[in-house]
């Protein structure tokens, strides 16, 4: 089954590939969501009531947030402040359900308006503001802190959902991954010749050198200049990259670890490398559902930048559908009684 993903960073090549395969058993959560209780009886499933209906939280589910970060890697340590960690231009939440044996993907539009904790240039708490969620990664003392701030923003946006793991890759990894995979073949629907003479519209070519980054990263100078068009290119590249990654792993069981090591400082994650590799065998054969997105509307803010607005009920319904099961539908009430 084709890996349909609205991927952004080709850097996500690895991440997406890993996300495709990675899985781990999630221990029973002790965190309660708002308006939730822990039901009595065997298993103590977390309970949530929404619009008069009772839902029980699934167990054995792992969440992995993938981030593609656009940042200036040429900065020196003396020039870095607490507010220039780079934008998380790609945000995808992978939900690995081991009981169902499935992987769901939620792409969070980078311009989604959400609550973000900000810092002053001196690193002091600057309050919480409504802004594009991609900007959440910009605040932090280092890349790990920036990732944690982004994870927290996504978690809060998704009804305080627990996020187990995160992986972030910056643009320095794009061409590295493409090269290690032997080059991803794509068909150019837009003209890139101003950036590379070989990349003309209608051409089918195996991306080499710097072409992979140009293909998935370029926006304003290509086509209609929209992020939506860029996402289509990223999906095409990732579909091809995923198939190549699967073939590489079939031929060499150590390829995934080699790929992780090659990313070096371009990869930031809270998961140990060995853990990711060991989890590979759990989920690599799970079917992956098509990419989902919370419904919303685009608008232009007072500052002239694009904003994507969603409704809280739409967010809650997605969370319930993904992480909970209706009590009446599953018969959990009788099981737990």
Question: Model confidence over 34-84: pLDDT tens digits?
Answer: 444 444 444 567 889 999 999 999 998 999 999 988 875 544 444 446 777
Write the DSSP string, 88-134.
EEEEEEEEEETTTTEEEEEE--TTBEEEEEEE-TTS-EEEEEEEEGG
The pLDDT assigned to 165 comes to: 92
CA distance 98 to 278: 15
pLDDT category, 334, cuts 50, 70, 90? Answer: very low
pLDDT at 312 over 60: yes
Q: CB of 21 within 8 A of CB of 285?
A: no
| Helices within 126-254 (DSSP H only) | 143-157, 174-180, 211-217, 227-251
Q: What band does 195 get if pLDDT is binned at 50, 70 and 90?
A: very high
285: its two tokens = 């054969």
**What mean pLDDT is predicted for residues 272-276?**
68
The reported pLDDT for the residue numbered 202 is 95
User: Domains, the chain, ranges and CATH?
Assistant: 12-25+60-293 (3.40.630.190)
What is the average pLDDT across 267-286? Answer: 74
Between CA 271 and CA 104 the distance in angstroms is 20
How many alpha carbons fall within 13 Å on the CB side of residue 133? Answer: 27
φ and ψ at 280, to 5 degrees? -50, -50
Instruction: Quote the pLDDT of residue 172.
Output: 66
The Cα 237–Cα 7 span in angstroms is 8
CA distance 278 to 181: 21
| Residue 308 pLDDT | 94
Residue 286 near residue 111 (C-beta atoms within 8 A): no
The 3-state DSSP class for residue 328 equals helix
Taking only the tens place, the pLDDT of each residue in 114-141 is 999 999 988 899 999 999 999 999 999 9
DSSP state of 29: P
């Amino acid at each position: 089954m084709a890996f349909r993903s609205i991927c952004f960073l080709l850097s996500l090549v690895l991440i997406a590939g890993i996300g495709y395969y990675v899985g781990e058993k999630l221990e029973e959560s002790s965190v309660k969501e708002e308006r939730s209780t822990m039901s009595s009886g065997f298993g103590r499933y977390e309970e949530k009531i929404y619009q008069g209906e009772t839902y029980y939280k699934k167990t054995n589910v792992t969440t992995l947030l993938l981030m593609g970060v656009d940042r200036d890697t040429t900065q020196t340590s003396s020039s870095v402040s607490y507010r220039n960690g780079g934008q998380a231009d790609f945000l995808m939440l992978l939900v690995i359900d081991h009981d169902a044996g499935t992987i769901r993907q939620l792409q969070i539009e980078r311009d989604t308006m959400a609550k973000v904790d900000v810092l002053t240039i001196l690193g002091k708490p600057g309050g919480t503001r409504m802004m594009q969620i991609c900007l959440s990664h910009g605040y932090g003392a280092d890349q790990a802190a920036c990732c944690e701030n982004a994870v927290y923003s996504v978690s809060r946006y998704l009804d305080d959902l627990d996020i187990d793991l995160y992986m972030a890759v910056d643009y320095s990894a794009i061409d590295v991954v493409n090269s290690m995979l032997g080059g991803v073949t794509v068909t150019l629907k837009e003209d890139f010749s101003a950036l590379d003479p070989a990349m003309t519209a209608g051409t089918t070519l195996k991306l080499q050198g710097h072409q992979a980054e140009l293909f998935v990263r370029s926006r304003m100078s290509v086509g209609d200049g929209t992020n939506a068009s860029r996402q289509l290119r990223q999906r095409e590249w990732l579909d091809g990259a995923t198939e190549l990654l699967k073939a590489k792993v079939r031929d060499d069981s150590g390829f995934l670890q080699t790929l992780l090591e090659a990313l070096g400082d371009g990869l930031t994650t809270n998961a140990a490398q060995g853990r990711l590799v060991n989890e590979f065998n759990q989920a690599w054969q799970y079917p992956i559902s098509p990419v989902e997105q919370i419904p919303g509307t685009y608008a232009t803010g007072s500052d002239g930048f694009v904003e994507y607005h969603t409704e809280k009920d739409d967010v809650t319904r997605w969370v319930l559908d993904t992480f909970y099961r209706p009590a009446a539908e599953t018969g959990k009430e009788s099981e737990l009684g």
